[in-house]
Amino acid sequence: MREGLAGSRPFVSVLTSVLLATSSLAATSVALAGPCTGPGAPTTTQTKCLTAVQIPGKPLGEIDVSWVDPDRAEYYLADRSNAGIDVIDTRNLTFKRTVPGFVGAIINKTTGKINMGASGPNGVASHGRWLYAGDGDSTLHVIDLNAPTASATKQVVNTGGTTRLDKLALSTDGSLLIAVNRNEDPPFATLFTANGDHATSAVTAITRITVDETIIPAGFGLGIKSPTWEPRTQRFYVSIPMIAENPAGCNYGQLAGDVTCSGGLLVIDPTALSQPAAVIGAFDPDTNTGVLPVNDCGPFGITVGPHANLLQGCTSSAKPSNTSTLVINAVTKHFANIGGITGSNEVWFNAGDSRYYTGSNNAIGGAVLGVIDGETNLLIETVLQSSVSNSVTADARRNRIFVPQVAPVAVVGPDGDTTNVGTGICGTNNGCVAVYVHDGDEDDGDGGHTVR
């Protein structure tokens, strides 16, 4: 552990023993039970399953990340199975609608598995009435949440790639947006002017951002992943799962054998970008920009917590030896590794209970929802999830945590749940969005918790 990380103390590693059943789901009694039963709904954890929201249409087999706007009391899920953005009322915990118009899940006819690089929707984020989502054809969809479903999409902006537009992030005021084309070679991000609080849509690309080829060499499938906005430093921070020479002489795919390189943190000052293209190199502490190598972490998801701390979801998908999650301070760059939790795609900080939540589908031993204290940076607990549960968000006003569950393999094919966990949580074989609460903090609406 490095000294100086705000709110840190020595870390402990919490090991979770996981027993996952893989028998046929259709005939089990758990499939006939109501929601919030089985190993994904323990009674001994602080984080408890409250209910499950069912999504109409095709069973959930292909989903990506999600987003919550507590002011609108709405949850948004990138639902590739139904080729749209599902909207859930976070106050009443009911399904509202699906905004269509996306390419959906593109399935490889030989393997039956999804072609991630061509499918959509993918990343999603919102500010006020405006929701932004990436699609599988390299386009950004701009959706007016105040408009009827049939006319909600106001712009479709092409980023010029040939593969999916993936994760994205907005500045606090909603005036700037960054979106990542992770499957391109080399990968790139696009900085946009976004709509902020305007009533009409006028999203425009400002700059295409790439990383110096000595840091992300071409030809090895290296990508960039999830971005976030940190308000104290006024920077976008983007997770890079793997970079060259971290440490020196490591294997990023140029050699036979396991990958041994860790990833990095791409720090972007949007005010310094005005030209159509920008190439960003090594980290410069004087400008607080560039690619900062991170320690023993192949990061996917990223979120902003207290004290300008950033939590990065390290995963063995990027670096096989990863066994921890990383917290790094955006100001000091001091960091610490949280033992006992890894394999996260989406991660989320809930200001309502000051806890991080991780969608750890590649956790050691099986998929879990990870719960980390935002002040001490200690792992509190893990809760079993369906085998591909990699998305998590929270409504900070109501302290409700949302974790989508996919349907079982028997229903949706090889990308489905291989356990009985999701079926027990959902109470059906169609998948669902599970709703958790923190230890009885669930209340009836808007007054009980402060949004920081």
Task: Dump the DSSP string for 344-394.
Answer: -SSEEEETTTTEEEEEETT-TTS-EEEEEETTT--EEEEEE--TT----EE
The three-state secondary structure class of 401 is: strand
The reported pTM is: 0.90
pLDDT at 12: 35
Closest CA to 120 of 159, 81, 69, 169: 81
| Contacts of residue 27, Cβ cutoff 8 Å, sequence gap at least 6 | none
The three-state secondary structure class of 184 is: coil
- Amino acid identity, position 5: L
Which strands, in side-by-side order, build the sheet including 347-350? 347-350, 355-360, 368-373, 379-384
Q: What is the mean pLDDT of each run of 10 residues along the chain (452 residues)?
A: 40 33 36 80 97 98 97 98 98 98 95 94 98 98 98 98 97 98 97 98 98 96 96 98 96 93 97 95 98 93 97 83 90 93 93 96 90 96 95 97 97 95 97 89 43 32
| Contacts of residue 282, Cβ cutoff 8 Å, sequence gap at least 6 | 212, 215, 290, 291
Burial classification of residue 184, based on how many CB atoms lie within 10 Å of its CB (0-12 exposed, 13-18 middle, 19 or more buried): buried
pLDDT at 316: 78
pLDDT at 4: 41
Which DSSP letter does residue 117 get? Answer: G
Name the CA radius of gyration of the chain, rounded: 20
Residues 83, 433, 410, 359, Cα dihedral to 10°: 100
pLDDT at 441: 53
Q: What are phi and psi of 303, to 5 degrees?
A: -150, 160
Go through 205-241 and write b for each residue having 16 or more CB atoms within 10 A of its CB, e for each that does not.
bbbbbbbbeebbbeeeebbbbbbbbbeebebbbbbbb
User: How far is 57 from 303, CA to CA, in rounded Å?
Assistant: 31
User: How far is 92 from 313, CA to CA, in rounded Å?
Assistant: 30
- Pairing type for strands 277-280 and 204-211 reads parallel
- 49 bridge partner residues: 436
The three-state secondary structure class of 424 is: helix
Which strands, in side-by-side order, build the sheet including 432-438? 47-53, 432-438, 400-405, 393-395
| Contacts of residue 425, Cβ cutoff 8 Å, sequence gap at least 6 | 35, 36, 37, 38, 40, 41, 49, 52, 385, 386, 405, 432, 434
CATH topology for 29-438 is Methylamine Dehydrogenase; Chain H (2.130.10)
Pair 343, 350: CB distance under 8 Å: no
Closest CA to 42 of 68, 16, 5: 16
| Contacts of residue 329, Cβ cutoff 8 Å, sequence gap at least 6 | 4, 5, 6, 307, 308, 309, 310, 335
Query: Going along 44-194, which residue ranges are E strands?
Result: 47-53, 63-69, 74-79, 84-89, 94-99, 124-127, 130-134, 139-144, 153-158, 168-170, 176-181, 188-193
The three-state secondary structure class of 166 is: coil
- Amino acid identity, position 421: V
Sign of the alpha-carbon torsion through 108, 362, 69, 399: positive
**CB-side neighbour CA atoms (13 Å) of 137:** 9
pLDDT at 320: 78
φ/ψ bin of 343: left (φ > 0), alpha (ψ from -120 to 50), beta (otherwise): left
Residues 81, 86, 90, 91, Cα dihedral to 10°: -120
